[in-house]
Amino acid sequence: MNFIAALTVLLHVGFSGGRVTISLMALELQASAATVGLLASLLSVVPMLFAVRWGRYIDRVGVRRPMYTGAGLLLASLAIAAAVPRLETLFIVSVLAGSGFYLFHIAVHQAAGSMGPVEARARNFSVLALAFSTGGVLGPMIAGFCIDEIGHRYTFIALAGALVALLAIMAVRPVEVPRARSTLKPGEKRRIADLLRDPLLRRVFVMSGMLSMAWDLYTFVMPIYGTRLGLSATTIGLLLGVFGAAVFVVRVLLPLVVHHVDEWKMLLGAMFFTAFVLALIPLVSHPALLIALSFLIGIGLGGAQPMIMALLYNKAPAGRGAEAVGIRTLVLNFSQTAIPLMFGALGAALGMTPVFLTMALAVAAGGWYARRK
């Protein structure tokens, strides 16, 4: 599992660093805020449309080929951006980068869910989540430093080095994990409705969607809320940095305690705790208190994702684990596309307090629904 985690760090360094570089290069090329937003949306559009098909494909062929393909697409996107540093090119780059990352993302979660006994899944997903967090921290830092020192074009080349290393390592040591035999009869069609009919799986999807929406809401709305409070850019950056640090801390600790907690109870606790903190945020304006709340919501959301994945694989039918991850990926990408539009409009019309309270009620309602296990 540590080998899979190391590959994931390399992949996420390339993707998270590339995502930052795409946005900053677009701004350098005089792109409007709307254009930058469109570039960010293009990272999620194709995965939203094809995630379930990719999951079924991975269930059928295994993880090795999709991991190669995903890393190759991301490498190609960075190479194109470096070779043709134009605004129009970045639209193609965003589509390729998002497609490659999420294909690898589904495959690597399939690998984590297939390795070892069922009891090891929660720990596997905790280690994998920590790998994503590590790459998510290193990628933007490397990108920012490289942009200042060598410019956007060569930053793409530097980030591509992580993907070249990943592909070279996989060529020397191929990733092989056992595949679960599907319970479907030959010729029987796979339907999303079959998975959604399962009451426990349906609850897991609801919990995953609500927690994902809360995460996206926080990272999107807090800069707007901080600006309206008159906070400096440094303070707003500190709020988001503390949130990221809390996510990292909880994921470092999670593998040590995961065997001593019940996944279901932990997720329900995370949902109600997150709803409570979201409801408190619009009542607070002092920076120190906002920093404390940012850390608390990072703790609540950071530990939830590995538990979601463990439950998803435990409840999914044999041979359909990657398909279930594909459905979850569809939900995540829909959230990343819709949340800025929906809550941005609500905030513009009614202010930030209804935005936070609406999300708090939605998360609490999702927790109440999932509690009826």
| pLDDT tens per residue, range 339-369 | 666 666 666 677 778 888 888 898 888 888 8
- What are the DSSP calls for 320-335, one per residue? -HHHHHHHHHHHHHHH
- What are the DSSP calls for 289-358, one per residue? HHHHHHHHHHHHHHTHHHHHHHHHHHHSPTT-HHHHHHHHHHHHHHHHHHHHHHHHHHHHHH-HHHHHHH
CB of 335 within 8 A of CB of 213? yes
* pLDDT over 90, % of the chain: 16
Rounded average pLDDT over 250-278:
81
Q: What is the pLDDT of residue 185?
A: 54
Q: In this model, does residue 127 exceed pLDDT 70?
A: yes
Q: Which of 172, 207, 239 is the last residue of a domain?
A: 172
Q: What is the pLDDT of residue 233?
A: 63
Tokens 């008159």 correspond to 230
pTM, 2 dp: 0.77
Q: What is the pLDDT of residue 33?
A: 61
- The answer on 319 and 266 residing in a single domain is yes
- The answer on 165 and 21 residing in a single domain is yes
- The answer on 337 and 197 residing in a single domain is yes
In a domain, 179, yes or no: no
pLDDT band at 158; cut points 50, 70, 90: very high
In a domain, 185, yes or no: no
- The answer on 168 and 209 residing in a single domain is no
Biggest CA-to-CA distance, the chain: 62
In a domain, 359, yes or no: yes
Most confident region among 89-93, 246-250, 320-324, 344-348 by mean pLDDT = 89-93
Q: What is the pLDDT of residue 356?
A: 85
Q: Which of 120, 140, 172 is the last residue of a domain?
A: 172
Distance CA 344, CA 370 (A): 28
Q: In this model, does residue 186 exceed pLDDT 60?
A: no
Distance CA 373, CA 369 (A): 8
CATH code of the domain covering residue 163? 1.20.1250.20
Q: Is 185 helix (H, G, I), strand (E, B) or coil?
A: coil
Q: What is the pLDDT of residue 181?
A: 61
More confident residue, 73 or 245: 73
Domain residues for the domain of 110 are: 2-172
- The answer on 234 and 151 residing in a single domain is no
- The answer on 329 and 245 residing in a single domain is yes
Alpha helices in 173-198 (DSSP H): 192-196
Q: In this model, does residue 373 exceed pLDDT 60?
A: no
- The answer on 138 and 7 residing in a single domain is yes
Distance CA 54, CA 103 (A): 7
Instruction: Please name the amino acid found at residue 119.
Output: E
In a domain, 186, yes or no: no
Number of separate domains in the chain: 2
- The answer on 121 and 246 residing in a single domain is no
Q: What is the pLDDT of residue 254?
A: 77
- The answer on 38 and 164 residing in a single domain is yes
Q: In this model, does residue 157 exceed pLDDT 90?
A: yes
- The answer on 164 and 246 residing in a single domain is no
For CA atoms 238, 240, 244, 249, the dihedral sign is: positive
In a domain, 180, yes or no: no
Q: How many other CB atoms are there within 10 angstroms of residue 161's CB atom?
A: 15
Q: What is the pLDDT of residue 145?
A: 82
- The answer on 344 and 202 residing in a single domain is yes
Instruction: Classify each residue of 20-44 as buried b or exposed e, where b means 16 or more C-beta atoms within 10 Å of its C-beta.
Output: bbbbbbbeeeebeeebbebbbbbbb
Q: What is the pLDDT of residue 340?
A: 61
pLDDT digit string (tens) for 4-34?
888 999 998 999 888 888 878 887 888 776 6
Which two three-digit tokens encode residue 167? 């592909």
- The answer on 353 and 276 residing in a single domain is yes
pLDDT digit string (tens) for 190-244?
676 667 677 777 788 888 878 888 887 787 777 778 877 887 767 776 787 788 7
CB of 13 within 8 A of CB of 140? no
Distance CA 310, CA 116 (A): 13
Length of the chain: 373
Rounded average pLDDT over 286-304:
88
Q: What is the pLDDT of residue 366?
A: 82
CB of 6 within 8 A of CB of 134? no
In a domain, 178, yes or no: no
